[in-house]
């Protein structure tokens, strides 16, 4: 397929996804407390949100607040209270992801919180994010046996790009970043390094250098995100977006895939030395998840629920013994739910048709027959032995659609942030 046709298919698919998200992710702010039904015999995925940061990154869209030591400690106490409440309500969790913000901003409180979660629930795997400023080897060593995967947001090793996105002053030069990362490699089972591609001013050679530096650091996992645009990105960076041409993404994606061809694919933009189910995109393997903490999302029973963005309100709601849900979106229809999970599984590398039908109670090749036909006609998928698998173009397409999905979720966060100012 020609570059022009690639772009036409991508433009049509992203436009359709964007329209669907604008229609289906309409927020209803709640006037009274609600609960949702859940299966007490099921092990759910648990997400904990820690919103505190010392400095805000221009491209980060997640719920965050300026770090204050006393407020942060009180917040972690509320998180632990919410964990105890979840246990008393009958929840079961088997996997935990701690995101932010900067979870390691108070490592003592983080350690107590994860240890409590593992004590209360049968949690097998724990992942946590961190910024490059909070990866002191002695501190990380304390989490040995507690955290299985540490995700460090580096974004790039190019000094000029680091300066352009405001990270050179905050986190140091490429040399300093490499030294910090080399000092923690191997302490935990998986150290994951996050890179961004298609940034303004980034060249093919710059991207290639980033990947080769990451490989030389001997980290177990490398995740390569396309730059995402949303209403939450700083105005100065928005101006730079005007110069971005989407056609660069495909060329950059080819570079990434070629340079990491000896790695195992976790999904369309995450790669590991050895096969693992642990990555930042936990929604690929977990069809439902429960979020605790201010600003956390819960997806259950084909519906999205949102916790309070106001940290003081979050704290008071937990103190009163109730959950902190303040908003929800309309319940997805059967087809909308099938489309969402189909994208996730395609992004994950394979759609097992029989398993999909059993899990989501649909007949996939009937429910999404036009979508699957379109993917076949444009050379994005092949179907064999009851499995739908993406071609190379299909992997690229699913990566770009996931980018569009996350940008749509960023717009939800923007709406919530404006509402709760």
DSSP 220: S
Distance, in Å, from the CA atom of 330 to the CA atom of 303, rounded to the nearest integer, reads: 6
Beta-carbon neighbour count of residue 213 at 10 Å?
19
- What phi and psi values does residue 2 have, to the nearest 5 degrees? -75, 165
Six-digit token pair at 418? 């404006």
Q: From the CA atom positions of the chain, what is the Rg in Å?
A: 21
Please calculate the CA angle 283-324-302 and round it to the nearest 5 degrees.
Answer: 35
**DSSP 3-state of 76:** helix
Sheet containing 387-390: order of strands: 351-352, 387-390, 381-384
Q: What is the dihedral of CA 268, 271, 277, 282, to 10 degrees?
A: -50
Distance, in Å, from the CA atom of 179 to the CA atom of 415, rounded to the nearest integer, reads: 39
Six-digit token pair at 233? 């990105």
Distance, in Å, from the CA atom of 159 to the CA atom of 167, rounded to the nearest integer, reads: 9
Q: Alpha helices, DSSP H only, in 153-267?
A: 159-164, 168-171, 174-184, 204-216, 235-241, 247-259
Residue 100: exposure state from Cβ atoms within 10 A (0-12, 13-18, ≥19): buried
- Three-state DSSP string of 93-106: EEEEEEEECCHHHH
- The reported pTM is 0.90
Neighbour-count burial for 170-200, b at 16+ CB within 10 Å, e otherwise: bbbebeebbebbeebeebbebbbbbbbbbbe
DSSP 332: P
Distance, in Å, from the CA atom of 372 to the CA atom of 143, rounded to the nearest integer, reads: 44
Predicted confidence pLDDT, tens digits, the chain (421 residues):
556 666 677 777 777 777 777 777 788 889 888 999 999 999 999 999 999 987 766 666 677 788 899 999 999 999 999 999 999 999 999 999 999 888 999 999 999 999 999 999 999 999 999 999 999 999 999 999 999 999 999 999 999 999 998 899 989 999 999 999 999 999 999 999 999 999 988 999 999 999 999 999 999 999 999 988 754 444 444 444 444 444 589 999 999 999 999 999 999 999 999 877 766 667 767 789 999 999 999 999 999 999 999 999 999 999 999 999 999 988 888 898 999 999 999 999 999 999 999 988 899 999 999 999 999 988 999 999 999 999 999 999 999 999 988 888 877 887 777 777 6
- What phi and psi values does residue 325 have, to the nearest 5 degrees? -70, 130
Distance, in Å, from the CA atom of 138 to the CA atom of 43, rounded to the nearest integer, reads: 33
Contact 196, 227 (CB under 8 A): yes
The CATH topology of domain 3-25+333-400 is Arc Repressor Mutant, subunit A (1.10.10)
Contact 204, 252 (CB under 8 A): yes
Query: What pLDDT is recorded for position 11?
Result: 75
Distance, in Å, from the CA atom of 7 to the CA atom of 393, rounded to the nearest integer, reads: 11
Distance, in Å, from the CA atom of 32 to the CA atom of 104, rounded to the nearest integer, reads: 34
Q: Domain ranges in the chain?
A: 3-25+333-400, 31-284
Please calculate the CA angle 1-7-204 and round it to the nearest 5 degrees.
Answer: 90
The β-bridge relationship of strands 264-267 and 270-272 is: antiparallel
Contact 255, 208 (CB under 8 A): yes
Distance, in Å, from the CA atom of 51 to the CA atom of 39, rounded to the nearest integer, reads: 29
Distance, in Å, from the CA atom of 147 to the CA atom of 128, rounded to the nearest integer, reads: 7
- What phi and psi values does residue 245 have, to the nearest 5 degrees? -110, 125
Q: Tell me which architecture the domain covering 31-284 has in CATH.
A: Alpha-Beta Horseshoe (3.80)
Query: What pLDDT is recorded for position 421?
Result: 63
Distance, in Å, from the CA atom of 172 to the CA atom of 330, rounded to the nearest integer, reads: 44
First CA to last CA across the chain, in angstroms?
47
Residue 258: exposure state from Cβ atoms within 10 A (0-12, 13-18, ≥19): exposed
Q: Which residue has the tokens 């939800």?
A: 412
What is the per-residue DSSP string for 140-151? HHTTTTT-SEEE
């Amino acid at each position: 397929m020609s570059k022009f046709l690639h772009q036409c298919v991508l433009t049509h698919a992203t436009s359709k996804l964007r329209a669907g998200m604008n229609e289906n992710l309409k927020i209803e702010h709640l006037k009274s407390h609600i609960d949702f039904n859940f299966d007490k015999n099921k092990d759910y995925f648990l997400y904990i949100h820690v919103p505190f940061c010392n400095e805000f990154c221009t491209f980060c869209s997640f719920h965050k607040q300026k770090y204050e030591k006393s407020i942060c400690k009180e917040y972690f106490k509320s998180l632990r209270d919410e964990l105890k409440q979840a246990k008393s309500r009958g929840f079961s969790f088997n996997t935990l992801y701690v995101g932010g913000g900067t979870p390691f901003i108070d490592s003592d409180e983080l350690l107590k919180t994860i240890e409590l979660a593992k004590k209360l629930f049968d949690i097998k795997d724990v992942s946590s994010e961190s910024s490059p400023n909070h990866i002191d080897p002695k501190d990380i060593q304390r989490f040995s046996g507690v955290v299985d995967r540490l995700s460090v947001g580096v974004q790039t090793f190019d000094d000029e790009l680091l300066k352009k996105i405001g990270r050179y002053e905050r986190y140091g030069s490429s040399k300093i970043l490499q030294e910090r990362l080399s000092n923690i490699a191997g302490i935990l089972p998986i150290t994951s390094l996050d890179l961004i591609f298609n940034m303004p001013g980034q060249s093919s050679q710059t991207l290639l250098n980033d990947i080769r530096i990451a490989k030389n650091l001997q980290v177990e996992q490398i995740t390569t995100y396309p730059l995402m645009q949303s209403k939450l990105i700083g105005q100065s960076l928005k101006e730079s977006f005007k110069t971005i041409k989407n056609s660069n993404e495909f060329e950059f994606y080819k570079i990434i895939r070629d340079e990491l061809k000896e790695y195992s694919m976790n999904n369309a933009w995450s790669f590991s030395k050895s096969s693992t189910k642990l990555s930042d995109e936990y929604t690929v393997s977990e069809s439902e998840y429960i979020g605790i903490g201010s600003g956390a999302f819960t997806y259950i029973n084909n519906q999205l629920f949102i916790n309070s963005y106001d940290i003081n309100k979050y704290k008071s709601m937990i103190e009163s013994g109730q959950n902190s849900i303040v908003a929800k979106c309309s319940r997805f229809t059967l087809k909308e739910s099938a489309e969402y999970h189909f994208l996730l599984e395609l992004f994950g590398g394979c759609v097992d048709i029989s398993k999909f039908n059993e899990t989501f109670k649909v007949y996939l090749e009937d429910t999404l027959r036009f979508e699957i036909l379109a993917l076949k006609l444009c050379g994005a998928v092949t179907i064999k032995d009851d499995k739908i698998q993406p071609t190379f173009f299909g992997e690229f397409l699913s990566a770009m659609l996931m980018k569009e999905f996350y940008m749509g979720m960023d717009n939800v966060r923007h709406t919530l942030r404006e509402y709760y100012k």
